[in-house]
Amino acid sequence: MSEIAPWKQTKYLTLSSFFFSAPAVYSYYRYKMIYPPMLLCSVSLVSANYWRNAVDDWRRQLDIYMARTAFLYFIANGIYVLPPKWSLFGGVPTICSIGYCFHKSHTEYETDKESNTWVCYHALFHSIASINLFFILTKMGNYYAKLLVNEKD
C-alpha cells in the first residue's frame, strides 16, 4: 500500500469531501428526498474515509466507484429533469469546469506531488460539483413533487 499523499495535504480534501453533505441535507429537509441524500452522504463518508489516510488500497477503489456512481446518477437525473436552457447554459459549463479541475488536479499531482496546487484543484472540483448538486436536486425535488401531486389527482 503506497501512500498517495500525506495528511498535511489530504486534510483539506477530507474536509471538502463533506461538501457533498450540504446538498444532501438540503434535499432531505426541503423535498423529503431519501435516495439522493443517502447516496451523497455515502459519497461524503467514503471519500473522507479515503482522504484521511490516502493510500492505494480498497478504500481508494471504493471512493472511485462511489464517485463515479454518484456522478452518473446525477448527470442522468440532471439531463432528465433540467430544462434544455439550464442544461446548455448551466450544466455544460459546470461539467467542463468539473472535468478541467479533475484533470488539472491529476496532471499537477503527476508533475509535483509535494505542491499543494493539485490539492486546490481537487478541492475546487469538490466545491463546484457540490454547488451544482443544489441546482440538480432543486429541479429533481420540484419535478418529483409535481408527479406526486398529479398522482393524487
Four-residue CA torsion sign, 104, 58, 53, 113: negative
pLDDT of 152 above 70: no
| 130, containing H or E segment | helix 117-152
For the segment 26-47, the average pLDDT, to the nearest whole number, is 97
| Residue whose C-alpha cell reads 477503489 in the numeric block | 61
| 19, containing H or E segment | none
Burial of 22 (0-12, 13-18, 19+ CB in 10 A): middle
Domains in the chain, number: 1
Q: Is residue 32 part of a domain?
A: yes
Q: Is residue 2 part of a domain?
A: no
Q: Is residue 86 part of a domain?
A: yes
Residue 49, all three cell numbers: 474515509
* Predicted local confidence at residue 9, as pLDDT: 96
The Cα 19–Cα 55 span in angstroms is 22
Classify residue 32 as left (phi > 0), alpha (psi -120 to 50) or beta: left
pLDDT of 10 above 80: yes
Classify residue 5 as left (phi > 0), alpha (psi -120 to 50) or beta: beta
Q: Is residue 1 part of a domain?
A: no
Range of the domain at 111: 7-152
52-106 tens-digit pLDDT: 999 999 999 999 999 999 999 999 998 888 888 877 888 889 999 999 999 999 9
